Amino acid sequence: MDKFVIRGGNPLVGTIRVSGAKNSALPCMAAALLTEEEVILENIPQVRDIETERKLLESMGAAVQLGYGRAQHRTTICCKTLSDPIAKYEIVKTMRASSLVLGPLVARVGMARVALPGGCAIGGRPIDLHIKGLEKMGATITQEHGYLEARTERLKGAHIVFDKITVTGTEDLLMAAVLADGETVMENCACEPEVSDTAALLTAMGAKIEGAGTSTIRVQGVTRLHGARHRINPDRIEAGTFLIAGAITGGDLIVDNCNPEHLGALIDKMTEMGVHVETLAPDQLRVRADAQLKAVDISTEEYPGFPTDMQAQFMALATQADGVTQVKENIFENRFMHVQELVRMGANIKVDGRVATVRGATPLSSAAVMCSDLRASASLVLAALVADGETILDRVYHMDRGYERIEEKLRGVGAQIRRLGNVFGSAQ
Ligand code: UD1
């Protein structure tokens, strides 16, 4: 199992480039199931979850071609024949986003068998809202031996009101609705940029969608979709992680190839803390921190609120701020697994239900720590960048699910970080 060895203390200086958004790439790859023609996706990040999705699509009969050389972030997917519309447990057990193939498969071939998802250990994470929506569209769903099976002749347009805002649920049902018979109106939808990105691809494929990126989405179903070429949005969570890396190390960092508009809630909080964040270009931010940071509370919310996927990283930064920070996690019930590891590094954090209280600033010291989920890992890397001495971070496969060659990127701006073990990517 790979480990990172990180020696803290270096301010990060220079330019760091953001990859494409994993959470956009996953639904966009699933959207390729909706057509017999080729879908070409640019700016695909080379991370483990994408590799898992590639295997998943191939196991169902799709041809997936990865680009090489200069085109190494391009993926061409052709789902001409879908001989086996089954998402097998062996492939999907590490990735909850497998539920994203449910809607497109039923819409395209009238049947799907999907293993119930695994993924990050951050709470119950049910998919009842995906199921309810598909049932409303006329699918019959049964559950047996850890698999969901959905069947229908052709999905019918429906009026769906989500009980709770769900990102992949919105994407899954959107992908189902585009080939359904008639109009679908979805209310209380997720407004995350990843939903808009998926809708942009679907529109390029010939879908009729209005309102993506708002809480009400209207879809006029069509009988078939065609191939398309689409460029994936930059990853706002990776960009946010780099902004915090610049700030926590007291550096001067340019975060390149990002979309500042997607980072509003985070930038506002960092600015309140005393970090300078400046937009240099429509796709470039500069972050500098040259004074003692002040504690500022956060409360995670759906987009455009403060993202739950930045909560763990923000907590690492809060350990370096003067005063008391309250971090309230509203989206997932069990998303404080990084706390005990940060405490082992010298942080003063107490958890009470959904609220973590951080008292800072405390110096951090190196320790042997363990990654527990994707964003928790990022939080520990950030803490290690300012810790005194050498931190050994175990189980970095969690990190590899969503961050592309993070150690190389951080090393490029002055971090002392190296990987022990088999470098992810060499086997691709
Ligand atoms: C997506 C992101 C993940 C992010 C999360 C919230 C992907 C691949 N992952 O996850 O990185 O942390 O959004 O921004 O895009 N819920 C239900 N029933 C459902 C579905 C969800 O109760 O059928 C609940 C969940 O348990 C959770 C909340 O709704 O409490 C939000 O979850 P959801 O938005 O669905 O998260 P994901 O789409 O899985």
Position 422 confidence tier, pLDDT thresholds 50, 70, 90 = low
**Residue 308: CB within 6 Å of ligand 1?**
yes
pTM of the model: 0.96
Q: For a pLDDT cut of 70, what percent of the chain falls above it?
A: 96
Of 119-128, 262-271, 276-285, where does mean pLDDT reach its minimum?
119-128
**Is residue 363, in this structure, part of any structural domain at all?**
yes
Q: What is the pLDDT of residue 122?
A: 46
**Residue 23: CB within 6 Å of ligand 1?**
yes
**Is residue 116, in this structure, part of any structural domain at all?**
yes
Residues 154 and 106: beta-carbon distance below 8 Å: no
**Is residue 426, in this structure, part of any structural domain at all?**
no
Shared domain for 247 and 172, answered yes or no, is no
Residue 424 has pLDDT above 60, yes or no: no
**Is residue 427, in this structure, part of any structural domain at all?**
no
Shared domain for 159 and 11, answered yes or no, is no
Nearest alpha carbon to residue 399 among 369, 428, 427: 369
Shared domain for 227 and 238, answered yes or no, is no
Q: How far apart are CA 361 and CA 81, in angstroms?
A: 58
Q: How far apart are CA 152 and CA 139, in angstroms?
A: 5
- For residue 302, give the ligand 1 atom closest to its CA: 14
**Residue 26: CB within 6 Å of ligand 1?**
yes
| Enclosing domain of residue 381 | 3-19+234-420
Q: What is the mean pLDDT of residues 283-300?
A: 97
**Residue 198: CB within 6 Å of ligand 1?**
no
Residue 17 has pLDDT above 60, yes or no: yes
Shared domain for 152 and 74, answered yes or no, is yes
**Is residue 311, in this structure, part of any structural domain at all?**
yes
From 182, 211, 231, the end of a domain falls on 231
Nearest alpha carbon to residue 140 among 151, 153, 131, 156: 151
Shared domain for 164 and 214, answered yes or no, is yes
**Is residue 190, in this structure, part of any structural domain at all?**
yes
Nearest CA to ligand 1 atom 14: 308
Q: Which helix (H) or strand (E) holds 243?
A: helix 236-248
From 196, 231, 266, the end of a domain falls on 231
120 assigned to active site? yes
- Out of 120, 189, 191, 258, pick the active-site residue: 120
Q: How far apart are CA 308 and CA 292, in angstroms?
A: 25
CATH number for the domain harbouring residue 199: 3.65.10.10
Q: What is the mean pLDDT of residues 251-262?
A: 98
Shared domain for 243 and 99, answered yes or no, is no
Shared domain for 226 and 337, answered yes or no, is no
From 183, 210, 231, the end of a domain falls on 231
Q: What is the pLDDT of residue 124?
A: 57
Position 423 confidence tier, pLDDT thresholds 50, 70, 90 = low
Shared domain for 39 and 179, answered yes or no, is yes
Shared domain for 80 and 168, answered yes or no, is yes
Residue 120 has pLDDT above 80, yes or no: no
**Is residue 223, in this structure, part of any structural domain at all?**
yes
Q: How far apart are CA 321 and CA 347, in angstroms?
A: 11
**Residue 194: CB within 6 Å of ligand 1?**
yes
Give, in order, the Cα–Cα distances in Å from 167 to each of 162, 175, 192, 220, 255: 11, 13, 7, 21, 26
Give, in order, the Cα–Cα distances in Å from 113 to each of 51, 90, 173, 246, 324: 20, 13, 16, 44, 48
In the chain, how many domains are there? 2
Shared domain for 107 and 208, answered yes or no, is yes
Shared domain for 209 and 320, answered yes or no, is no
**Residue 375: CB within 6 Å of ligand 1?**
no
pLDDT tens column, 189-233: 999 999 999 999 999 999 999 999 999 999 999 999 999 999 999
What is the whole-number distance in angstroms between the Cα of residue 207 and the centre of ligand 1?
A: 24
SS3 20: strand
**Is residue 125, in this structure, part of any structural domain at all?**
yes
The residue to mutate among 166, 299, 300, 330, having the most atoms of ligand 1 within 8 angstroms of its beta carbon, is: 166
Q: What is the pLDDT of residue 96?
A: 76
Q: What is the pLDDT of residue 146?
A: 85
Shared domain for 374 and 354, answered yes or no, is yes
Nearest CA to ligand 1 atom 26: 125
What is the whole-number distance in angstroms between the Cα of residue 80 and the centre of ligand 1?
A: 30
Nearest CA to ligand 1 atom 3: 309
